[in-house]
Amino acid sequence: MIPLEEARSFVLTKCVAGEQVTVALAEAGDLVTTTDLAAAGPIPPFDNTAMDGFAVRAADVAAAPVTLEMVGTIAAGAIPDIEVGPGQAVRIMTGAPMPPGADAVVMVELTTMATDETSVDVAEAVPIGNHIRPTGDDVETGQIVFPAGTHLKPAHLGVCASIGVYDIPVFARPRIGVISTGDELLDGPGPLGIGQIHDSNRHTLLALVNSTGARAVDLGLVPDDEEQIRDAMVAAAASCDAVVTSGGVSMGDFDYVKKVLTEIGDMRWMQVAIKPAKPLAFGTVDGTPIFGLPGNPVSSMVSFELFARAGIRKMMGHTDPIPAPIQGIAGADMLRGPDGKTHFARVHATANGNGQYSASFSGGQGSHQLSAMAAANALAIIPNGNGILTGEPVDLLLL
């Protein structure tokens, strides 16, 4: 067995960041930028009001309550062509540009407008600048809004739009093929024949791939047949940037994935000192990384989290591809025996009110018990030994 870190560094050496491309803003979500993005102009682009109310001269309302002459209305999007003179006010809506002459906004709740709309009573004094959002308050002209290497999340996309950047330089979104292998697998709802089970891995793995921001490509189900596995792998390596398979990498008589990949690729078959997900076949076919994950449903997911997610993140241009654990405490005993492996237990972690996550097993810990994985929101990392007792610290890999 080799340590997790060694297996993962080997995976990361073979996964390289993709092509640098420019994509439309609408296509940029979850990608990583390749250059600094600077603002050509300020945000907000003009002084505007943060409230519905009245634009006034602060000096005029210093002795409030006062009555001001109302000289017009400015809506959001309107040109502020009404000057506010001494003793005057302009009705103004949130987001509208400040009219010349005014230096403060009184919110509508502090005012009473005359029924003929010729005057307004202001109940309280306000300071200069009250409720005004000044030009450049969020972003200044020339400011680097995000450095190269930024992972574009929803708010980043909004900032790009607000600075008028609609073509975004990024690492290309990798296409990741997903294949299930096994004679026992049935695609679709059934009915199941004798000895058959539904192919669940492909559905979890497709969703896991998409959760990284990469694009999952469903390459279907391949039986335990050497020829068909070879054809499927060659085609997958040619059409995708990486391939994730499940099944066929253990010690069984019909575990052809390992055999075929050894023949056609530059593969390494590893026994990693972890439980679940000990076997991993990883390498390249014509330069395309192939993740040969184990078939047991929990194992394939854990293996994805530990190896494929890190590899795909590196391909997407992340400089910190390995997801970092957070520290929580054991909400119940997490017992195990020494076996030379690090265990990744399926746990449910909840905030315990003391600013900590308290984690307990989310169900049965067998590698076929996928329902405990579904009930889990984290993997608890239990080092080799006798386990972790209630109240002791435990590292959690959030799912």
Q: Tokens representing 396?
A: 């959690």
Q: Which of 18, 42, 97, 182 binds Mg ion (CB under 5 A)?
A: 182
| Of 91, 95, 96, 119, residue with least CA distance to 107 | 91
Closer of 7 and 92 to ligand AMP (Cβ): 7
Q: Tokens representing 89?
A: 């006010």
Count of residues of this chain found to bind ligand AMP when the rule CB under 6 A is applied: 19
Out of Mg ion, ligand AMP, none, what residue 201 binds, judged by CB under 5 to 8 A for its kind, is: ligand AMP
Out of ligand AMP, Mg ion, none, what residue 276 binds, judged by CB under 5 to 8 A for its kind, is: none
User: Mask: binding to ligand AMP, 172-201, rule CB under 6 A, as x and -?
Assistant: --------x-x-xx-----------x-xxx
Q: Which of 247, 279, 311, 331 binds Mg ion (CB under 5 A)?
A: 247
Closer of 182 and 317 to ligand AMP (Cβ): 182
Out of ligand AMP, Mg ion, none, what residue 199 binds, judged by CB under 5 to 8 A for its kind, is: ligand AMP
Q: How far is the CB of 210 from ligand AMP (least distance, A)?
A: 17
Under 8 Å CB-to-CB from 209, ≥6 apart: which residues?
A: 176, 178, 215, 216, 244, 308, 312
Q: How far is the CB of 368 from ligand AMP (least distance, A)?
A: 6
Closer of 177 and 248 to Mg ion (Cβ): 248
What span, in angstroms and rounded, lies between the C-alpha atoms of 365 and 320? 30
User: Mask: binding to ligand AMP, 295-324, rule CB under 6 A, as x and -?
Assistant: xxx---------------------------
Judged by CB under 6 A, the stretch of 160-168, 243-251, 342-350, 378-386 that binds ligand AMP is: 243-251
User: What is the C-alpha end-to-end distance of the chain, expressed in Å?
Assistant: 26
Closer of 190 and 385 to ligand AMP (Cβ): 190
Site membership for ligand AMP, residue 292 (CB under 6 A): no
Is residue 142 a contact partner of residue 39, using CB atoms and an 8 Å limit?
yes
Q: How far is the CB of 241 from ligand AMP (least distance, A)?
A: 22
Under 8 Å CB-to-CB from 208, ≥6 apart: which residues?
A: 301, 304, 305, 308, 309
Q: How far is the CB of 296 from Mg ion (least distance, A)?
A: 10
* C-beta neighbour count of 389 within 10 angstroms: 12
Q: How far is the CB of 198 from ligand AMP (least distance, A)?
A: 7
* DSSP-based three-state secondary structure for 376: coil
Q: How far is the CB of 323 from ligand AMP (least distance, A)?
A: 24
Site membership for ligand AMP, residue 360 (CB under 6 A): no
Question: Burial level of 166, CB count in 10 A (0-12/13-18/19+)?
Answer: exposed
Strand partners for 124: none
Q: How far is the CB of 197 from Mg ion (least distance, A)?
A: 11
Please name the helix (run of DSSP H) or strand (run of DSSP E) that holds residue 5, with its range, or none: helix 4-14
Site membership for ligand AMP, residue 372 (CB under 6 A): no
Q: How far is the CB of 360 from ligand AMP (least distance, A)?
A: 26
- Report in angstroms the alpha-carbon separations of 316 from 21, 144, 149, 242: 12, 22, 10, 11
* DSSP-based three-state secondary structure for 144: strand
Q: Tokens representing 32?
A: 């990583």
Q: How far is the CB of 211 from ligand AMP (least distance, A)?
A: 18
Closer of 159 and 221 to Mg ion (Cβ): 221
Closer of 74 and 249 to Mg ion (Cβ): 249
Out of ligand AMP, Mg ion, none, what residue 197 binds, judged by CB under 5 to 8 A for its kind, is: ligand AMP
* DSSP-based three-state secondary structure for 243: strand
Out of Mg ion, ligand AMP, none, what residue 184 binds, judged by CB under 5 to 8 A for its kind, is: ligand AMP
DSSP secondary structure, 78-135, as one string: S-------TTEEEEE-TTPBPPTT--EEEEGGGEEE-TTSSEEEE-S---TTTTEE-T
Q: Cα angle at 330 between 392 and 358, to 5 degrees?
A: 120
Strand partners for 215: 175
Closer of 56 and 257 to ligand AMP (Cβ): 257
- Residues found near ligand AMP in the complex (CB under 6 A): 180, 182, 184-185, 197, 199-202, 246-248, 250, 252, 255, 294-297
- Residues found near Mg ion in the complex (CB under 5 A): 182, 247-248, 295
